[in-house]
Amino acid sequence: MPTRWEPMLAKPAATLPAGSALPGGAVYEPKWDGYRAILERTSAGCRVWSRNGADLAAGFPEIVQAVREQLEPGTVIDGELVVWRDGRLNFAALAPRLAYRGRRRPPEGLPPVSFLAFDVLAAGDIDVRTKPLRNRRAVLEQLAGSWRPPLQLTPQTADEAEAQRWLEEYAAADVGVEGLVAKGAGQRYLPGQRGWVKFRIHNTREATIGAVIGPVDQPVRLILGLVDDAGTLRVAGATHPLNSRESAELAVVLVGTDDHPWPAELSTRQLGRFSREPVAITRVTPSVIVEVEADTAFEHGRWRHLTRYRRVRMDLSG
């Protein structure tokens, strides 16, 4: 058995793969807005492996207890740590737990965590990663037959029409499900490789351009703002890089200004993490409204991922 378990990954796609597009036929699962983890039941207890190989067990004592009670030693399952709060998935509620290591335990009163399993890597001390997904899924369903929360089984379908209905329902309900992951029923588990395909739900939203990256007459990215309940324009995220046509059409309507509520430099946390260092911005008069395409990862008034510019809303701009 390996000393640590490396997860198989997914590559993004602009469209949901057809049923015949992946080895053995595609199966579809919800893409949860949570924290990827692999649970390893050992003879001594439980390890909670992060995607980067850190053991997060100290931050998730209720998951560790459930694994010790419900899984046999030599069992390894892959899935997502999630928090349901106020009727939707809340990624930010996981953050306080990720800082705990060693003997430190998180404080009482944090929102409860669930683990949604979607694969099994070992059972009964036997490594099953070389088995096709359809066989691993059968093993996982057998294991999950006796589970109780917080351990749960991720739903799966091989019906493409049902997968499309899931997408529509998740988008309409706005419960924080990010989209779907498509996997080949005949695929082996390939650690570190992007053999699965993820398709994110995207919606269009309106936002105010509060600043840009680059000069006003040749913007490279847009820095977006949303007005909070107090009427203050808050930084809400950034866009992917603009193409030359988009940059030119925006340069016509943008006006630079120093009379602005935002500082001249913003942190990466505010801008969708496209840079490891604070970013200098060029502030503009916040009067231009644009339509952007954004995914469902939105919390505390900010998009966690980069958005994509679609068009200027001159009918809304002032």
Average pLDDT over residues 20-25: 94
* Domains by residue range for the chain, with CATH: 9-198 (3.30.470.30), 202-312 (2.40.50.140)
Encoded tokens for 159: 């019906």
DSSP label at residue 39: E
Tens of pLDDT, residue by residue over 185-196, are 999 999 999 999
Q: What local confidence, expressed as pLDDT, does residue 214 receive? A: 95
What is the distance between the alpha carbons of residues 264 and 241, in angstroms, rounded to a whole number?
19
**Please, which residues have CB within 8 angstroms of residue 40's CB and are 6 or more apart in sequence?**
5, 46, 47, 48, 49, 75, 76, 122
Q: What local confidence, expressed as pLDDT, does residue 93 receive? A: 87
What is the distance between the alpha carbons of residues 38 and 49, in angstroms, rounded to a whole number?
5
pLDDT-derived band of residue 110, with 50, 70 and 90 as boundaries? confident
Tens of pLDDT, residue by residue over 205-231, are 899 999 999 999 999 999 999 998 888
- Beta strand spans in 169-307 (E): 179-184, 194-200, 202-213, 221-227, 233-238, 265-266, 279-280, 282-283, 289-295, 298-299, 302-303
Q: Are residues 70 and 147 in contact, defined by beta-carbon separation less than 8 angstroms?
A: yes
Residue 280 C-beta-side C-alpha neighbours within 13 Å: 2
Closest CA to 124 of 1, 290, 20: 1
Q: Are residues 35 and 80 in contact, defined by beta-carbon separation less than 8 angstroms?
A: yes
Sign of the torsion formed by the C-alpha atoms of 86, 88, 89 and 92: negative
What is the distance between the alpha carbons of residues 112 and 92, in angstroms, rounded to a whole number?
13
Q: What local confidence, expressed as pLDDT, does residue 41 receive? A: 97
Q: Tell the residue number behind the tokens 């007005």, with chain if given.
A: 227
Q: Tell the residue number behind the tokens 């939707």, with chain if given.
A: 88
Encoded tokens for 131: 């088995």
SS3 179: strand
Q: Are residues 233 and 211 in contact, defined by beta-carbon separation less than 8 angstroms?
A: no
Mean pLDDT of the chain: 91
pLDDT-derived band of residue 296, with 50, 70 and 90 as boundaries? confident
**Please, which residues have CB within 8 angstroms of residue 293's CB and are 6 or more apart in sequence?**
202, 203, 204, 307, 308, 310
pLDDT-derived band of residue 103, with 50, 70 and 90 as boundaries? low
